[in-house]
C-alpha cells in the first residue's frame, strides 16, 4: 500500500547529512526473523547494497567500506531493505550464508542477560 509519507530512494540516500554520517542497520534473517547483527552504514554502503544485493557496511574499526563475507565467505544477500519512520535507521533482511558474527556464532546476539546475571 502506497502512502504520501513514503520517501523516494534519493530522499532516503539524503538521510545522510554528510559523507561521514553513519546510521545504524539491524540485520535480520529473512526466513527465521532472527536478529543477526547490528552494523553501521554510510550513504555509499547503502548505495552499494541497493546496487549489488550484497550487504555492505561501514567498518568503524577499519574506517572503510566492508562487504559482508568478502574475506570470510559468510555472505549476506540482501532480500529487502526497510527504513524506520524517521528515516534514520535501517533494517536489512538477508539470506545468510555461514555465520554472521566474527566470533563464529550464527548471531552476534548470543550473550543473554538474565535477572541473575550474564549467561
Element (H, E) at 52: helix 43-52
Rounded to an integer, what distance in angstroms lies between the CA atom of residue 80 and that of residue 38? 16
Q: Place 119 in a pLDDT band, splitting at 50, 70 and 90.
A: low
User: Tell me, what's the pLDDT at 89?
Assistant: 92
Q: Place 8 in a pLDDT band, splitting at 50, 70 and 90.
A: confident
Q: Does 1 have pLDDT greater than 70?
A: no
Find, among 35, 41, 71, the residue nearest to 55 by Cα.
Answer: 41
User: Tell me, what's the pLDDT at 118?
Assistant: 65
Mean pLDDT of the residues in the chain: 89
Task: Confirm if 26 and 89 have CB atoms less than 8 A apart.
Answer: yes
Rounded to an integer, what distance in angstroms lies between the CA atom of residue 94 and that of residue 75? 9
What are the structural domains, with CATH classification, of the chain? 26-98 (3.10.20.810)
pLDDT tens figures, 12-44: 777 777 777 899 999 999 999 999 999 999 999
Q: Does 4 have pLDDT greater than 80?
A: no
Rounded to an integer, what distance in angstroms lies between the CA atom of residue 106 and that of residue 61? 21
Find, among 12, 19, 30, the residue nearest to 84 by Cα.
Answer: 12
Q: Does 75 have pLDDT greater than 90?
A: yes
User: Tell me, what's the pLDDT at 56?
Assistant: 98
The model carries a pTM of: 0.84
Q: What angle do CA 105, 34, 79 make, to 5 degrees?
A: 105
Percent of the chain with pLDDT over 90: 71
Amino acid at each position: 500500500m502506497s502512502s504520501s509519507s513514503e520517501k523516494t530512494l534519493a530522499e532516503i540516500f539524503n538521510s545522510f547529512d554528510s559523507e561521514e554520517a553513519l546510521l545504524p542497520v539491524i540485520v535480520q534473517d529473512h526466513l527465521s526473523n532472527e536478529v543477526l547483527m547490528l552494523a553501521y552504514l554510510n550513504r555509499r554502503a547503502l548505495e552499494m547494497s541497493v546496487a549489488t544485493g550484497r550487504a555492505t557496511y561501514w567498518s568503524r574499526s577499519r574506517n572503510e567500506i566492508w562487504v559482508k563475507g568478502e574475506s570470510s565467505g559468510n555472505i549476506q544477500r540482501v532480500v529487502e531493505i526497510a527504513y524506520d519512520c524517521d528515516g534514520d535507521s535501517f533494517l536489512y533482511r538477508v539470506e545468510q550464508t555461514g555465520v554472521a558474527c566474527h566470533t563464529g556464532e550464527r548471531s552476534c546476539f548470543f550473550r543473554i542477560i538474565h535477572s541473575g546475571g550474564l549467561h
